[in-house]
Structure formats: structure tokens, C-alpha cells
Structure 1
Amino acid sequence: MPEISDAIHAVLFDKDGTLFDFYKTWGPVTEEAALLVAKGDPVKARHILKESGKDLDTGKYIPGSPIASGSNREISDLWTSLAGRTDNDLVYAEVHALFLKRQATAATPVTDLDVLFTRLRAKGLSLGVATMDSEESARASMARFGVHGALDFICGFDTGHGVKPGGGMVEAFARDMNLRPSMIAVVGDSPHDMAMARAGKAGKAIGVLTGVSLRENLIDHGADVVIASIADLESVL
């Protein structure tokens, strides 16, 4: 069976901004969620978005900000505080439910995931997803596009392997696949993804430009290489 590389035997993907176009998938959903937390107050919703990392002039998210890189729980807890509320668990439940509901219709893959995953697996690579979204949401997204069966590993912030930028997700994937972390390539769109790759001692950190970060952001945080999108992945593995 042909191999892409003697060193890389598995690929661990971030989800949003990497497998799915960040702004097409999360832009309107995030605004709707902020308005929900603000109980319909548009001024308060704008304040929530601004203080958690959205540039209101450009509509872009600041790389490394809570809204771009935080877990769903971290985001909802921050929004609860910014909205002047104290019912953290209720806010998280409402935001989580909204995200699950909207992802069923809003998730926009960067490329045909089934075709890409099929090609990568044909080259002998194990595949995984590590996201700061919930594991439930990640599994639902993968199932919706019919590619969950191509993945050997799916974890979210709540799976129990820690959160980005820590290396626990990389280490867990390596254990599950019976590989050394150095045999894994991490692919992501944020500084947190690159830092996770370094913390987990992954063999390669590959940045993509379909999320919140510019090329220089990713290189400054440890990317070995930056590509336009996962459609170009095979050329750099």
C-alpha cells in the first residue's frame, strides 16, 4: 500500500475552520447565539461579541480569542458574564442546543470530505478529529456528511482529553492508534491548533487559511507549513 510519508501515519484535524469553512458555518449562528444570551437585546449582543473577539467593523474574529478558539463551555461562561447573567448552566444548555440545531443546516465543508478521507485512508493513514466544540456536535457533523465511518477518533472539549492549546488530544489519538505522537500530523486553522501540535509532540503542524487566522499568525505559533485549505493537504504531508 503506498504511503504519503515514511514519518506521518495519521492526521488529526481540527473541525471548524479546517474541515468546515469557519465564517460560512459559524458567522450567522454565533450572532444568533449572542442575541439569545442577551435575551434579544441587540446592543448587549454586540457587546458580547466584541468583548469575546469579534471585530465589529470587519466582521472577522481575532485569532486566539475566546470566540475563535475557546470551547463551547468557555464561550458560554464568558457570554453569561458579559450579559450580566449568573445562570451559567442554563446558558450553556441553550447555546449548545442552538449550535447543534444550526450546524445541521449551516455546516459548510471546505471540500468533499468523503472524497478526501477516502484518498487519505487509501494511503494507509489513520484519521481523527479534535475540536473545541462538543464531542456530540462533532459526531453529529461527521455523521451528517456520511464520513464518521472514515474516522478512527473523534473528540471534543468535553471528551476528557483536555483542551487546546494543551497536547492531550494529540496524545490520546496516538494512544488509540498505537502510534508515537511524532507519527501524527495536526491540521488546523488557529494558533491553538498549532500550539496543541507542539504540546502533544506531533510530527507536523499544518495550518489552513479557511478559518480565523492569517498565514503569519499560524507560522508565528509553530506551523511547519500553511496551505490554502485541506484540499491541498496531500501535497504537504
Structure 2
Amino acid sequence: MRDLAAILFDKDGTLIDFDRTWGPAAGAVMRTLAGSDAHALHRIEAVSHFLPSEERFLPSSPLVAGSSAHYGPLWAEALGRPADAAFLGQIDRLFSIEGMRSLSPIGHPAAVVARLHQAGMKIGIVTNDAEANARLQADALGLLPFVTEILGYDSGHGSKPDPGMVLAAADRLGVAPRHIAVVGDSAHDLAAAHGAGARFILVRTGPGDPQALYAEADLVLDSISDLPHRLIEAAPC
């Protein structure tokens, strides 16, 4: 992968610990939305495949890789509310607040991203989170000095697994997709990368079982901490 010119990072499960960040955050958001209605809270937890006593999601949860545009209608139905823009916006705002309270990085993402940037690579983030929240979290993690583009599900280019945000990032960065690698932990990341003509680097730090993705990934790493060595310092891969 010596010909790479840009890296696009997924966020949840790649840069930040999914369960440690979004488990507590989701529990708080669900409780806020359900209010005093215990039955509504149980319904929203059930459709989310969420284990409240453990504050974590099952790998089958629609929240593991999807955006609020994906799971929001399920929540709306569970709560008896319309799945309109106002409701989805409320979800995003609540998750933004609660996600910052429990934000938990995987390793030292700022050091990793800084090393790649120093080596001349352009850096972006493509996430199914809302763009504004992704920017807040990237700032909190110290990534903004090194990141050129941040695209979310609401940035106008669709959400993963569709390739739109990867193609948009490639265009903005001025780098052909074949010289870009998407680093992520899920099938959505893989599909978005390969659908855009980019390469896919799988990291084994997400909430799901990564083994089903091994055969299609262009490179498999334990975590983003391995990226500088494999992409910059080691022999071509």
C-alpha cells in the first residue's frame, strides 16, 4: 500500500470505543426519550438490541453501524412518535451531549493520525454519525489539526454502506479513490470503500465479529495503532 495518498477513518469502533462511548450514551438518551414510561423504554431497548444492565449493544443492533436515519424510525415506532426531521434531530442532539460525556478513544488516535499526516498522507473521517457531532468528538480527541475532511450521514452524500461519502471525500481531497484506504471495523465500511473503488483496512476493535470480513479486506490490523508501522515504516504490503 505504498501508493496510498489519503486515509479515511471510520469513527465509532475505529477511533473511539463503541461500547464504552455509546453504551452509556444510548442508555441515557433512551431514558430521556421514554421519560416515565417504562414500557416505552423497554420497547426502545428491545428494537435497539441493547442490554441496559451491561450498557452495551448486541452485534445485531441497528445502531452498531447505522445512523439515526436507519434506527430512528424504529425508535419513533417504539415511542409512538412520528419519524420526522424534528425527532431525528432530537436524537442527534441528545447523542451529541451524552456521547461527549462518555467519549472513550481506542489507544491514542491523535498520535496515530499525526504520524500519518507527517508522512504526507491526507486524512479524513467518514462516519454514520452526524457531521457536527463527529467534529466535536474529533476536536476533543485532538484530531482537527490533522484532519482535512469530516463527512457524516447528514453531509449530503448519503451514509455507509453506500459509497457517496467516500467519493465526496476523495473529490474534496483531490485524491483518486484507488489511492485511498478506508479504515473501519464493519461491513458497512468495507462496502463503502470498495463501492467507491478505494481499499479497505479492517481493524479488529469494533463491537462485531470481524472474521467474516477478513477475506474481502485489503489489510487486517488489530487496531489503528498498527497503521504507521504497516503503511509507513514496514515493507510494501
Name the TM-score class by shorter chain. Answer: 0.7 to 0.9
Counterpart secondary structure, 2:167: helix
> Is residue 63–residue 191 contact of structure 1 (8 Å, CA) maintained in 2?
no
Paired position in structure 1 for 2:228: 234
Gaps of 5+ in 2: 232-237
- Normalized against structure 1, the TM-score is what? 0.88
Compute the displacement of 1:86 (Å): 2.2
My pick for the range that moved more, 71-80 or 164-173, is 71-80
> Is residue 166–residue 193 contact of structure 2 (8 Å, CA) maintained in 1?
yes
Paired position in structure 2 for 1:205: 200
Closer/same/farther in 2, CA of residues 14 and 226 from structure 1, 3 Å limit:
same
Gaps of 5+ in 1: none
- 1:175 aligned to 151, 161, 171, which one? 171
Compute the displacement of 1:27 (Å): 0.4
User: Aligned partner of 2:201: which letter?
Assistant: I
Closer/same/farther in 2, CA of residues 64 and 154 from structure 1, 3 Å limit:
farther
Distance 1:79 1:61 in 2: 15
Are residues 1:139 and 2:135 paired? yes
- Normalized against structure 2, the TM-score is what? 0.88
- 1:21 aligned to 17, 28, 33, which one? 17
Paired position in structure 1 for 2:217: 223
Closer/same/farther in 2, CA of residues 45 and 219 from structure 1, 3 Å limit:
farther
Could you tell me the percent identity over the aligned residues? 35
User: Aligned partner of 1:84: which letter?
Assistant: G
- 2:68 aligned to 68, 72, 76, which one? 72
Aligned residue pair count: 231
RMSD of Structure 2 on Structure 1 (CA): 2.2
Distance 1:135 1:125 in 2: 22
- 1:46 aligned to 42, 49, 57, which one? 42
Distance 1:212 1:47 in 2: 22
Are residues 1:120 and 2:116 paired? yes
Compute the displacement of 1:175 (Å): 0.9
Distance 1:119 1:104 in 2: 25
